[in-house]
Amino acid sequence: MEDRVAIFIDGSNLYHALRSTFGRTNLNFAEFTQKLCFSRRLFRTYYYNVSQDPVQRPDAYREQQEFLSTLRNTPYLEVRLGNTKLAQGVPVEKGIDIMLATDLLYFAWNDSYDVAILVSGDSDFAYALQAVKNMGKHVEVAYFESGVSKDLLNVTDNRYLLDRQFFNGLWVVNRRPKRRRTVVKPQKQDHPSS
């Protein structure tokens, strides 16, 4: 029987790691999830992040809405958004880790998947992954070398280092419409006869 895979993406962690490691964030999520699944069957991908404030950060909000629209058009991918709260004047993510951990456990408990793949390096998820393993599921972590917790790696059954080689061929190619060339045909000129 083919293993069913559920992928849980810590969106903020992934975004900042892509930006700092590669200087780009235009990841093709359909191809990315397919590569993580290999030949196994994808149950669903869950993407977690905070919703940008349209009043305080209108440009960031507009960009995020375009990005989320692309994500929502990705087959078998669901977007889960938390909020930010101001703590001493600084916006702080609220609820993202608990949403991800809750879904990780909920879908394991309901036997929706056989393998959970966490895309994050955050040690806060180590105990939730251990609980999923205790239910008889396999757990895997896709991580960036610069931002991974040893506690998280110690819990995993399998790991994927997200390096330049891993992302080869997974970027969205920005295609600009080609300009139509206008071919100017030389016109016949009337030459005066002599």
Q: Are 152 and 129 in contact (CB under 8 A)?
A: yes
Q: Which pTM value belongs to this model?
A: 0.85
Reported as a single tens digit per residue, the pLDDT across 28-87 is: 999 999 999 999 999 999 999 988 878 878 888 888 888 888 899 999 999 999 887 777
Check residues 190 and 11 and name the one with the higher pLDDT: 11
Domains of the chain with CATH codes: 4-167 (3.40.50.1010)
Among the residue ranges 16-20, 44-48, 175-179, the one predicted with the least confidence is 175-179
Q: Are 65 and 33 in contact (CB under 8 A)?
A: no
The conformational region for residue 107 under phi > 0 = left, psi -120 to 50 = alpha, else beta, is alpha
Highest mean pLDDT among 45-54, 114-123, 177-186: 114-123
Tell whether the model's pLDDT for residue 182 goes beyond 50: no
Sign of torsion, CA 161 165 166 167? positive
DSSP-derived 3-state class of residue 188:
coil
